[in-house]
């Protein structure tokens, strides 16, 4: 083979190789599109969501535990209240019997003895009526407080549901945005922060606006105390009537 032809052959092979490389290399790179780099925010988003969920869950558990503790404290306090009232009444009933005996000792005639018995029965009945009415007022107070607590809890539960719904929505939006454009971390982060802030502030504002149960309970206590006062007035009237009847029977104002 002559030399010029061999050189030509070598040159053609080399040109072919160069041509192939210049054509196929870009084609190969275009066939496999470049993966956009994920921003740190999107990379950390699952951890962020997990932490927020855990923290909210812990606080909700704390709220539940606090409610349970409160229920126990209220029940224990009322049990003590009722028992102390019961003990006090038993004590005063016993004392009253002693005083009745002293009064009975002053009755000398059958008419006077009968009048004393009538008086004792009237006083005892008036005391029992007052106590029953006071018990009813106290029971109404208990029920009112329980209702106020129950209503407040329902309101709070609604507010918590709205809050967690808003948080979940913000998280879902951020996740979707990161899946679509993982490199747009800064923008997604800004939107996410704004949504989470809005959720939190809305909850806080709602908690402040629905008032405090304190005023309702105070009003219930005042209503109860007004009933007590009214019951006392009713008793005083009955007691006076019984006393006047006895004095008339004894024909004496010294009894």
| Interaction residues for another protein, span 71-100 (CB under 8 A) | 73-74, 77-78, 80-81, 84-85, 88-89, 92, 95-96, 98-100
Rank residues 122 and 183 by Cβ distance to another protein and give the closer one. 122
For the record, the structure tokens of 69 come out as: 């503790």
Would you state the structure tokens that stand for residue 11, as one six-digit string?
A: 């040159």
Question: Which residue matches tokens 């802030």?
Answer: 197
Give dist(CA 160, CA 200) in Å, integer. 10
User: Of the two residues 15 and 236, which places its CB atom closer to another protein in the complex?
Assistant: 236
Asked if 129 touches another protein (CB under 8 A), the answer is no
Q: How many residues sit in the footprint of another protein (CB under 8 A)?
A: 76
**Half-sphere exposure of 178 toward its Cβ, with a 13 Å CA cutoff?**
21
Q: Are the C-beta atoms of residues 152 and 67 closer than 8 Å to each other?
A: no
Please name which of 111, 96, 101 lies closest in space to residue 246, comparing C-alpha atoms: 111
Structure tokens at 59: 């606080």
Helix (H) or strand (E) segment spanning residue 108: none
Nearest-approach distance from CB 110 to another protein, in angstroms:
18
Q: How far is the CB of 97 from another protein (least distance, A)?
A: 11
* Contact status: 122 vs another protein (CB under 8 A): no
* Contact with another protein (CB under 8 A) among 118, 134, 168, 234: 134
Q: Is 217 exposed, middle or buried (0-12, 13-18, 19+ CB in 10 A)?
A: middle
Nearer to another protein (CB atom), residue 77 or residue 165: 77
Distance between CA atoms of residues 121 and 8, nearest Å: 140
Cα–Cα distance between 75 and 87 in angstroms, integer?
A: 18
Q: Which among 4-12, 22-30, 176-184, 246-254 is the span making contact with another protein, rule CB under 8 A? A: 246-254
Q: In the range 168-227, which residues lie near another protein by CB under 8 A? A: 189, 192-194, 196-197, 200, 203-204, 207, 212-214, 217-218, 221, 224-225
Residue 133 as a binder of another protein (CB under 8 A): the answer is no
State which of residues 6, 9, 37, 106 lies at the interface with another protein (CB under 8 A).
Answer: 106
Q: Does 115 help bind another protein (rule: CB under 8 A)?
A: no
* Closest separation in Å from C-beta 36 to another protein: 21
């Amino acid at each position: 083979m002559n030399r010029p032809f061999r050189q030509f052959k070598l040159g053609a092979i080399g040109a072919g190789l160069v041509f192939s490389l210049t054509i196929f290399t870009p084609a190969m790179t275009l066939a496999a599109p470049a993966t956009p780099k994920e921003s740190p925010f999107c990379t950390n988003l699952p951890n962020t969501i997990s932490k927020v969920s855990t923290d909210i869950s812990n606080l909700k558990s704390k709220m539940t535990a606090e409610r349970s503790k409160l229920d126990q404290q209220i029940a224990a306090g009322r049990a003590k209240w009722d028992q102390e009232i019961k003990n006090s009444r038993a004590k005063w009933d016993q004392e009253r019997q002693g005083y009745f005996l002293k009064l009975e000792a002053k009755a000398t005639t059958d008419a006077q003895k009968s009048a004393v018995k009538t008086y004792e029965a009237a006083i005892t009945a008036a005391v029992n009526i007052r106590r029953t009415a006071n018990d009813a007022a106290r029971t109404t107070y208990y029920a009112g407080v329980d209702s106020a607590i129950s209503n407040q809890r329902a309101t709070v539960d609604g507010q918590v549901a709205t809050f967690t719904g808003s948080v979940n929505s913000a998280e879902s939006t951020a996740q979707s945005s990161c899946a679509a454009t993982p490199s747009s971390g800064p923008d997604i982060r800004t939107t996410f922060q704004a949504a989470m802030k809005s959720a939190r502030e809305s909850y806080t504002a709602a908690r402040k606006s629905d008032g405090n149960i304190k005023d309702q309970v105070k009003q219930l206590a005042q209503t109860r105390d007004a009933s007590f006062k009214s019951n006392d007035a009713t008793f005083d009237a009955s007691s006076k009537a019984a006393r006047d009847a006895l004095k008339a029977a004894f024909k004496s104002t010294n009894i």
